[in-house]
Structure 1
Amino acid sequence: MPLRSHGGRPPRGVLDFSTPLNPLGPPPRVAEAIRRLAVEASLSYPDYEYRRLREAIAGYYGLDPGRVVPLNGAAEALQLAVAAFKPAALVSVEPTFGDHGYTATGLGLPWVTLPLRLEGRGYRLDPALVCSLPRSLRRGSILLLSNPNNPTGSLAPARAVLEVAECMGEGVVLLDEAFIELAPGGQGCSLLGRAPGNVVVVRSLTKTLATPGLRAGFAYAEDERLARLLEAARQPWNVNTLAATVVEDALTAGAREVRAHVERARELVAVEAERLRRGLEALGLEAYESRAPFILVHHPRLRHPELQAELNRLGVHVRDASSFTYLTPRHSRVSVRTSSENRRLIEAFKAILEGART
């Protein structure tokens, strides 16, 4: 039986709403670079120091290349952080990315979960819950936090994240900002390049560039010691040559095109997320407010996996959210896609709900 549960495995020919990515797809320059370089890049080892990749990331985001740690997608950050910082425990604000519990179990680490606050139609980060943890637990732990949160779509203001970091004291905050570039208003909430010394910010280029198969991201720490520890824990060739070369080109020669493409994607998410949410609510579902390219949906009368089977039959596939801590088989996460695609999802839910009433 599979241990992990993630999106991204729809049946062939079915529209995938289970993997949140840039809804516009990859920038044209990125798609062309993948086609052009696929064979050539596969025939050589990556530069294990990733000098050009670090410089490209640093130049694009205005960072110090010496504190950039290349990642095989944002998901690699947790494994590196545990190896580098050797925490006494993992603390996570839930629901969130699902591998935290598996990592704690596999390494024999205590795992403490804190809930997001559900207030009305949205979720909220409550720094007081982190501050209420015993100091002895906070000082030796890694706190795992995503902003915007996956899967709820809630976006915490920078001041709330800074308060959490202050409460952690000597503990490390691993701040996953994988979706923040696609989040309307997200740039003002980001701590990249301005985080306290105990915070490691993680970004996913996979999500931003809509290239999930390339697996590219990075971690960044203002504290040079934390950056060096992460770098020491990184295996030498963790990012393949194709991914590194495509990202280097996208963030240097293609930087203007990429910025414009991402801005258009944010504008699309701002409009379509709310339109999709209202469309689902009009059907009698609970769709939570989101500032991310996905929406958490509660469907009290429907359960997975029966719901998934019916949706697949109608040509769409969603993320069963029951594997997220504090959620149930009556929760799904749906990605925000283009207007016509989002209408297909709404129509599929409508057909299923109408069938359930007869």
Structure 2
Amino acid sequence: MDIRSLMPSFLRTLIPYESPNEGAPEGTVWLNTNEYPTATKYEMRFETLNRYPQVQPALFRSRYAQYAGVKPEEVLVTRGADEGIELIIRTFCTPFKDTVLYALPTYSMYGISAKTCGANVLTVEAKKSLGLDTLGLCKALAQNPDIKVVFLCNPNNPTGNTVSRDAIIRVLEAAKDAIVAVDEAYIEFCPQATIVDLIEKYPNLAVIRTLSKAFALAGLRCGMILAQENLIAALRKVIAPYPVPEPVAAIAAHALSEGGIAAMRQRVELIRGNRTYLKESLAKIPGVRSVYPSQTNFVLFEVDEPERIYKSLWEKGVAIREPGSDKGVLRVSVGTIGECKLFINKLTQVLQEAGS
């Protein structure tokens, strides 16, 4: 039996999200998934694991609401931001009828999640500068009444640039009959760019957050959706029961304590300093054509033959990311200062070998 014959036809040819870490040699330096480079430590006791956890962890929700500037009823905790992305699509898109819209290049899970839910996908190409084509998004909304969800990544992955507040408002105004999901996974690195205050005005706005980046808890798989209560209520119809394990909720609540938030902000400052070193060093390397501005914990840069450079670095024990773009770009996460220096040295070697 061909197992694929039992799958819905729209899933048979789907290319899944693949971890870039599979098959890596021991000792690889990980600068490819935008994680915080060192671990945080938590000591917890759990004596009630025989019971199901709270449907939505109250202490964590209240602390995150206070941190984000919303009401606890406007917070939905999910298994990472990825579950939040899929949850929004499943809640608001009718399979084989409705459409998900986003601008390229951006996070690949918007498209993958849409396709797994049977939704159509419509994309708008970026400007030559890789900036957001706001006009293109608004035109697409005007011409396609079947669009039910629009994703905006702010700051954007993989480009590292922010979307202006005015641009987001223009999309919100154009999306009268669609949910606008603004993914703020990297917002702690540029908190001034958040649009969470617009939730009060726009009932169709959903803000996606995560603890994976600046909070250094990627392994916890804890995300949040912030929105008006009616939108949260709709999502709760679809979310699986007991989505957040008790240990996850306890660690997340600790991360949102006064001390936890202070530690997060110290990490952000450290990453900003290392990012400055990385950008300045990249700009000095012969063979690096351009280094893009970044408001995140990663840097995008242009080279000739990016696929070959990517593979050569992998062979030298340094893992970065090839986002897949005709601009010839590679993305490197900001690691420790030692990891950044190692990456610069290895990249310089690879580019010198290419030119010899």
Q: TM-score under structure 2 normalisation?
A: 0.86
| Percent identical residues | 26
CA contact (8 A) 1:41 1:242 kept: no
Name stretches of at least 5 consecutive residues in structure 1 with no aligned partner.
Answer: none
CA spacing shift, 1:245–1:8, aligned 2, 3 Å: farther
CA spacing shift, 1:293–1:62, aligned 2, 3 Å: same
Q: How does 1:219-258 map to 2 (within 5 A)?
A: 219-222=225-228, 224-251=229-256, 255-258=257-260
Deviation string for 1:96-137 (max 9, x for gaps)? 111222233333322111123233xxx322321222225252
RMSD: 2.4
2: CA distance, partners of 1:42 / 1:153: 40
Give the partner amino acid of 1:13. G
CA spacing shift, 1:166–1:24, aligned 2, 3 Å: farther
In the TM superposition, what is the alpha-carbon distance from 1:70 to its structure 2 partner?
0.6
Q: TM-score under structure 1 normalisation?
A: 0.85
Q: 2:3 — aligned with what?
A: none
1: CA distance, partners of 2:64 / 2:182: 18
Select which of 345, 349, 353 maps to 2:351.
Answer: 353
In the TM superposition, what is the alpha-carbon distance from 1:60 to its structure 2 partner?
2.7
CA spacing shift, 1:257–1:24, aligned 2, 3 Å: farther
In the TM superposition, what is the alpha-carbon distance from 1:41 to its structure 2 partner?
7.0
CA contact (8 A) 1:93 1:114 kept: yes
Name stretches of at least 5 consecutive residues in structure 2 with no aligned partner.
Answer: 1-13
2: CA distance, partners of 1:89 / 1:190: 26
Q: How does 1:1-358 map to 2 (within 5 A)?
A: 3-9=16-22, 10-23=24-37, 25-26=39-40, 31-33=41-43, 36-37=44-45, 40=47, 44-86=51-93, 88-119=98-129, 123-135=130-142, 137=144, 140-181=147-188, 183=189, 186-195=190-199, 196-222=202-228, 224-251=229-256, 255-283=257-285, 284-285=287-288, 286-303=290-307, 306-322=308-324, 327-328=325-326, 330-358=328-356
**Partner SS, residue 133 of structure 1:** helix
CA contact (8 A) 1:177 1:201 kept: yes
Deviation string for 1:173-220 (max 9, x for gaps)? 011000111x2xx22210124332211000011223212111001001
CA spacing shift, 1:353–1:160, aligned 2, 3 Å: same
Give the partner amino acid of 1:292. T
CA contact (8 A) 1:155 1:291 kept: yes
CA spacing shift, 1:164–1:269, aligned 2, 3 Å: farther
Q: 2:10 — aligned with what?
A: none
In the TM superposition, what is the alpha-carbon distance from 1:139 to its structure 2 partner?
6.7
CA spacing shift, 1:138–1:15, aligned 2, 3 Å: farther
Count of paired positions:
335
1: CA distance, partners of 2:145 / 2:84: 20
**Partner SS, residue 180 of structure 2:** strand
In the TM superposition, what is the alpha-carbon distance from 1:23 to its structure 2 partner?
4.7
1: CA distance, partners of 2:246 / 2:233: 22
1: CA distance, partners of 2:277 / 2:122: 36
1: CA distance, partners of 2:110 / 2:330: 20
Deviation string for 1:237-269 (max 9, x for gaps)? 222221111111221xxx222222222233233
